[in-house]
């Protein structure tokens, strides 16, 4: 029997609009869209705007006629790209089998990693959803299935902000009641052609002989429709090559801040997040880079080198704070901070000489235990005390 895959499809809900609502919480409960105001099209609309019939791709002038009071936010593609990269780094902590299908969706093949992650795909997916919300303030819907096709349909069924699991034995019962345009690649023109043939649901296609479909739709398309109608999709998740041998994370404050305690706390949070991602990928590094973006959008970076390769939060945080203190800033208004570790190497290929007085079990074992708890129970399961104190983090959105 063929080994079944476990594929996740993660889809950011109303991505551009969600990112803007995370930056400005006042937009969350009013109709709004990202796009041009007088000219152009709607790129992304939040759910209150969709109540009025506003959808992506609609001319902005029509959207304003449908809802005259709608708020319009001009797109900030640089920021959307930064958020997308940060979300992708969350996926990379699970497995290297990650395919970013677009700026706001990804396929993740957990087949070989599932046992290491605890064996429960739904629990892993909920952990991903919680972590993306915690780090970026945006919701995502996740579908789980035995193929890319089924996982993508499941994530659509899970919207908004939900999770849908389609087990292999349930594929046909899930798939067959759907309309024909639910099938990948079936747009308006193809759907109309299928309707003229009397085929309204996926079940109708599945019950039509392959040869009949091929005569009507063409050999390639007809065969593909038949296969997909029976849930057959052998396409693999295409693992992406990392752009650089580095791992990091960054946080944009909800409001610019000159509070050094807030900044220091966020540097600790970024160090912890970066270290966790390094451990998930079994990587260590010696070069720590701190980036600081100011209210006027100018950015500076400072880099330091540790004595030995590490994946421990304490080591990375100490170096990042040393770099921060060397800046000697006085009441500078900070917009964003980031911590990155560069020139990584596989942990299996490195060796660190322990100190003679070092205990057999120390921070390495403690942080591994924390990683397991976070993976199972979510990002807030175990945190350093400083990160749990109220008022130590600038609000997001």
Active centre residues (catalytic): 105
| Residue from 121, 174, 139 nearest 28 by CA | 139
Residue whose pair of structure tokens reads 């945080």 in the numeric block = 317
134 annotated ligand-binding residue = no
d(CA 230, CA 208): 11
Backbone angles phi, psi at 319, to 5 degrees: -70, -40
The span from the CA of 165 to the CA of 125, in Å, is 10
Q: How far apart are CA 288 and CA 319, in angstroms?
A: 7
Query: CB of 253 within 8 A of CB of 334?
Result: yes
Q: What is the H or E stretch that residue 252 is in?
A: strand 246-257
Helices within the chain (DSSP H only): 15-23, 47-50, 60-66, 77-92, 121-136, 148-158, 171-175, 188-196, 202-206, 210-217, 219-229, 260-280, 313-326, 363-377, 385-388
Tell how far CA 9 is from the center of its chain.
Answer: 10
User: Who contacts 320 (Cβ-Cβ below 8 Å, separation ≥6)?
Assistant: 267, 270, 271, 288, 290, 339
| Distance from C-alpha of 321 to C-alpha of 317, rounded to nearest angstrom | 6
169 among the known binding-site residues? Answer: no
CA dist list (Å): 20 to 26, 254, 370, 380, 396: 10, 11, 32, 24, 11
- Which residue positions form the known binding site for Mg(2+)? 11, 104
Which parts are annotated binding residues? 11, 104
């Amino acid at each position: 029997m063929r080994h079944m895959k476990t594929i996740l499809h993660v889809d950011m809900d109303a991505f551009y609009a969600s990112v803007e609502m995370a930056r400005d919480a006042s937009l969350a409960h009013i109709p709004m869209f990202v796009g041009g105001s007088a000219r152009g099209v709607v790129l992304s609309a939040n759910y209150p705007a969709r109540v009025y019939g506003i959808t992506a791709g609609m001319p902005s002038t029509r959207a304003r006629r449908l809802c005259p009071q709608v708020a319009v936010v001009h797109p900030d593609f640089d920021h959307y790209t930064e958020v997308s990269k940060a979300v992708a780094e969350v996926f990379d902590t699970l497995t290297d089998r990650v395919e970013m299908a677009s700026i706001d969706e990804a396929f993740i093949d957990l087949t070989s990693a599932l046992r290491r992650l605890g064996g429960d795909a739904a629990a892993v997916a909920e952990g991903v959803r919680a972590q993306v919300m915690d780090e970026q303030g945006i919701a995502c819907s996740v579908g789980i299935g035995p193929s890319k096709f089924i996982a993508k349909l499941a994530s659509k069924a899970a919207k908004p902000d939900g999770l849908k699991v389609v087990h292999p034995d349930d594929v046909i019962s899930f798939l067959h009641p759907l309309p024909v345009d639910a099938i990948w690649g079936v747009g308006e023109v193809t759907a109309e052609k299928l309707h003229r043939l009397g085929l309204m649901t996926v079940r109708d296609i599945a019950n039509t002989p392959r040869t009949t479909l091929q005569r009507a739709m063409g050999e390639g398309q007809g065969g593909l429709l038949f296969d997909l109608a029976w849930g057959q999709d052998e396409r693999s998740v295409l693992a992406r090559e990392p752009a650089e041998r580095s791992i990091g994370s960054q946080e944009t404050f909800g409001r610019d801040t000159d509070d050094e305690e807030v900044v220091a706390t966020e540097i600790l949070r970024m160090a912890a997040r970066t270290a966790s991602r390094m451990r998930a990928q079994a990587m260590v590094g010696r070069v720590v880079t701190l980036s600081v973006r100011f209210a006027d959008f100018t950015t500076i970076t400072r880099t330091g080198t540790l004595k030995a390769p590490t994946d421990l939060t304490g080591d990375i945080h100490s170096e990042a704070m040393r770099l921060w203190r060397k800046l000697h800033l006085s009441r500078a208004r900070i917009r964003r901070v980031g911590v990155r570790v560069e020139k990584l190497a596989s942990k299996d290929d490195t060796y660190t000489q322990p100190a003679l007085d070092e205990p057999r079990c120390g921070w390495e074992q403690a942080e591994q235990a924390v990683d397991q708890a976070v993976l199972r129970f979510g990002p807030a399961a175990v945190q350093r005390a400083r990160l749990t104190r109220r008022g130590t983090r600038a609000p997001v959105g």
